[in-house]
Amino acid sequence: MAAGTTSTSVQQLYTDILADLVPYYMDAVLLPNQSIIRNSLTVAGSSGSQVRFPITNTYSNAVDVSEGGDIRQTAGAQSNLTPVHANVTFQKRGIATDVSEESLEDGGIDLVRNAVLTRLSGGLAQATDTAGLLVGKTGFSTHTDTGEGDTTAGSVLNYVMSPEALAFAAKREPSVRMWYNPNLDTHEMRGTVRNGFATLQAGFGQKISSNASIGTATANVVAIAKGVANLRSSNAPTGLDGTYIGIISPAMEFAINSQIALAGGTTIASLSDLGNNALRDASLALIAGTRLFRSNNLPNNV
pLDDT top residue among 69 and 266 = 69
Average pLDDT, the chain: 87
How confident is the model over 219-224, as a mean pLDDT? 91
Comparison of pLDDT for 152 and 279, the residue scoring more: 152
As a whole number of angstroms, the distance between CA 156 and CA 295 comes to 11
- Spatial separation of the C-alpha atoms in residues 31 and 131, rounded to whole Å: 10
- Model confidence band, residue 9 (pLDDT cutoffs 50, 70, 90): confident
Residue 95 neighbours by CB distance under 10 Å: 19
Residue 273 pLDDT = 55
* Whether 30 contacts 293, CB under 8 Å: yes
Q: List, in sequence order, every residue forming a beta bridge with 245; answer none if it has no partner.
A: 161, 291
User: Which runs of consecutive H residues, i.e. helices, occur in the chain?
Assistant: 7-28, 101-107, 109-139, 221-233, 250-260, 273-281
Considering 51-60, 96-105, 139-148, the range whose residues carry the highest mean pLDDT is 96-105
What pLDDT does residue 228 have? 95
Nearest residue to 180 via CA among 21, 16, 7:
7
Per-residue pLDDT, 166: 96
How confident is the model at residue 281, as a pLDDT? 44
Do the beta carbons of residue 157 and residue 148 sit within 8 Å?
Answer: no
What pLDDT digit, counting tens, does each position of 143-167 carry?
Answer: 788 899 989 889 999 999 999 999 9
CA distance 26 to 81: 37
pLDDT reading at 283 higher than 50: no
Residue range 258-287: average pLDDT? 55
State the sign of the Cα–Cα–Cα–Cα dihedral 229, 234, 235, 241: negative
Residue 86 · residue 199 · CB < 8 Å: yes
Q: Residue 284's pLDDT band (boundaries 50, 70, 90)?
A: low
pLDDT surpasses 50 at 2? no
**Residue 28 pLDDT more than 60?**
yes
Q: What are 102-144's pLDDT values in tens digits? A: 988 888 888 999 999 999 999 999 999 999 999 999 999 877 8
More confident residue, 262 or 94: 94
Quickly count: other Cβ atoms within 10 Å of residue 61's Cβ: 7
Q: What is the pLDDT of residue 264?
A: 47
Q: What are phi and psi of 187, to 5 degrees?
A: -95, 115
pLDDT-derived band at 5, boundaries 50, 70, 90: low
Quick check: helix, strand or coil at residue 92? strand
4 pLDDT band (50/70/90 cuts)?
low
The C-alpha atoms of residue 248 and residue 251 are separated, in whole angstroms, by 8
Highest mean pLDDT among 66-80, 229-243, 275-289: 229-243
| Closest of 229, 232, 227, 275 to residue 248, by C-alpha | 227
pLDDT at 144: 81
* pLDDT surpassing 70 at residue 61: yes
Confidence at 34, pLDDT banded by 50, 70, 90: confident
C-alpha to C-alpha distance for 234 and 42, rounded to whole angstroms: 29
